Amino acid sequence: MKNVLVLCTGNSCRSQMAHGYLKKFSEGKATIYSAGIETHGLNLGAVKTMLDDGIDISNHTSNHVDEYTTVDFDYIITVCDHANENCPFIPSKNAVRLHHNFYDPSKVKGTEEEIAKAFVTAREEIKEYCQEFATSNLK
């Protein structure tokens, strides 16, 4: 069983969406964790957008990366530049580190429709990445 950590700044939005998709696409072949270098709580826009695609992340929690110092990760995926640049040392022996800076829908200002569209755009980008990752790495 592989251990995969998805790391973001606040573990509230993009890392939570990736967590949901990786759990789905890994089909039980991996344990998925998500964390932040800070904790900001679960973003309700991310919860709604994921639920619209059939994935319920409403029971996820916003966790700090320090909570997982004893887990030996196979993969550490940073999903924003800030987390990638400020990622603390994570004591995993042979972790493969990957990075993809996903668009941050939580920063969008505008109408409800514009904000909802931003979340869908980010969700679809994250979904595609996670599906490709799982196909390539979690066989």
Active site residue 13: no
Spell out the residues 6+ positions from residue 107 whose beta carbon is closer than 8 angstroms to its own. Answer: none
Q: End-to-end CA distance of the chain, in Å?
A: 10
Residue 87 annotated in active site: yes
* Catalytic member of 71, 87, 98, 120: 87
In whole angstroms, what is the distance from residue 91 CA to residue 105 CA?
31
Task: Identify the active-site residue in 8, 22, 42, 122.
Answer: 8
Q: What is the dihedral of CA 47, 37, 133, 60, to 10 degrees?
A: -30
CA distance 10 to 13: 8
**CA–CA separation, 49 and 98 (whole Å):** 25
Residues known to be catalytic: 8, 80, 87
